[in-house]
Amino acid sequence: MSLDPIFFTRDARSDSSDPEWRALLSEYFGQSVYRDWFAQLETKSFQEGVLVLAAPSLFVKDWIEKHYIDLILSLLKRKYARCHQIVIVAEGTNSLSVAQHESEESFSRHDEYPKENTQSPQEFSLSGYALDPKLTFDNFIVGKPNEFAHAAARRVAECDEAVYNPLFLYGPVGHGKTHLMHSIAHHILERSQYKKRVLYLSAEKFMYDFVRSLRYKNVMAFKEHFRSVHVLIIDDVQFISGKDSTQEEFFHTFNALVDQKRQIIISADKSPTDLDLKERMKSRLSWGLVADLHPTTYELRLGILQSKAAFLKIMMDPNILDFLANKISSNVRELEGALLRVAAHGSLVGKTLTLPLVQEILKDVLRPYETELTVELIQKKVSEFYNLKISDLNSAKRLRNIVRPRQVAMFLSKKLTTASLPHIGKCFGGRDHTTVMHGISTIEILLQKDKSLQEDVALLRKTLER
């Protein structure tokens, strides 16, 4: 078995002539990310298409495998077609760091880190993540679900002094929190002509740097690093839930920056009160302004797709964009990924994109959304829409604010399902089929002249047919 000189080096960390794959990663990820994660790797071998890399600890190994391994393999495949697998092993660490995975739990109190370290104290790099140049305010699509969070982010970015400290953004994955944080960072840097020090990183990276500062007995460097910034941006703060030592250090860092009137921006998947954090930490996070990003609406999703298509110069049938905006509602990342996948297929295969072809291309993505439409589901959606209980629709109540939604639900049940009139009547409190027919007929007549009802039914159909 021959070893490829491009990949193999005796000790990549000390080799002055870095192999080409290192240059690839450094160029793609930027120097700060490369220095924090990939410069620590040692190339062991490249045999039969398998590149074996050694990480200095299980923590680094697990982090790279979780966040970067697929992307690294994709990058290498483009330049070296024969590279088809990457294996990372953990070695070169003492038993303490390996057995404990460098976990935060290993340091439940600041005075409990190992009194003796087999590695001599040394300098270790502390840096944030590189900002994505594409994530700016200019290409953030504003809609009702995110307009408040966007306005708050704009205000923070445009003020010379700290306001709403901290600005706490929360919402589901893929709804724009990270985009807004990158946008704030870009705007502040540009306004200050890059004189302000803005640090953006995840809560997981904060924990990792804290643990390393304990391991290398260089806690003061860690404290100075994080408390000397003008703007601190922490993503996914829910990661430090249950990690008491990291919470303690973050608490002190938070207070030190607030005392200096330095701006803090934080994101999470839940509001501060719903996070599994210590009470005083929850209190600190609620000090400033808490802004949530709601699930996207159809209109917002369509706007995002149109903007993305225009930015990437993708020509696509508006009906396809409408289909994607209707069908994919979980998060924006998945929506944009579907657009890119469809566009790439059309470009590479050379076929005209049609709705049936798009459905075939995205069948694995669309499968989770293909919930069978039933009378019960229609009742649930209609009751939510009109702010009623399902039991109201099934009751004998004859109040107008209940009768009309009940008839709408019957109408939609007939139009959107294969259920028979007797079955629909049974679902609505045991009514007979003539009552159902009357309700359906009433709605059909009203739809010809009642614009408000037309809008209600159209919106409900769009929601149910997604």
Q: Which residues are annotated as a binding site for ATP?
A: 174, 176-178
Q: Give the type of residue at 217.
A: K
Write out the two tokens for 46. 């490249």
CA–CA separation, 198 and 160 (whole Å):
13
**8 Å CB contact between 90 and 55:** yes
CA–CA separation, 428 and 219 (whole Å):
67
Task: Tell me which H or E stretch contains 54.
Answer: strand 50-55
CA–CA separation, 174 and 335 (whole Å):
9
Write out the two tokens for 215. 């391991």
CA–CA separation, 23 and 5 (whole Å):
15
CA–CA separation, 366 and 217 (whole Å):
51
Task: Tell me which H or E stretch contains 379.
Answer: helix 375-385
Binding positions:
174, 176-178
CA–CA separation, 325 and 367 (whole Å):
15
Q: Give the type of residue at 121.
A: P
CA–CA separation, 306 and 308 (whole Å):
6
CA–CA separation, 81 and 343 (whole Å):
24
- Look up residue 109 and give its DSSP letter: S
Task: Tell me which H or E stretch contains 332.
Answer: helix 332-349
**8 Å CB contact between 267 and 234:** yes
Nearest by Cα to 230 from 258, 202, 203: 258
Alpha helix stretches (DSSP H) within 395-450? 400-416, 421-427, 433-446
**8 Å CB contact between 104 and 211:** yes
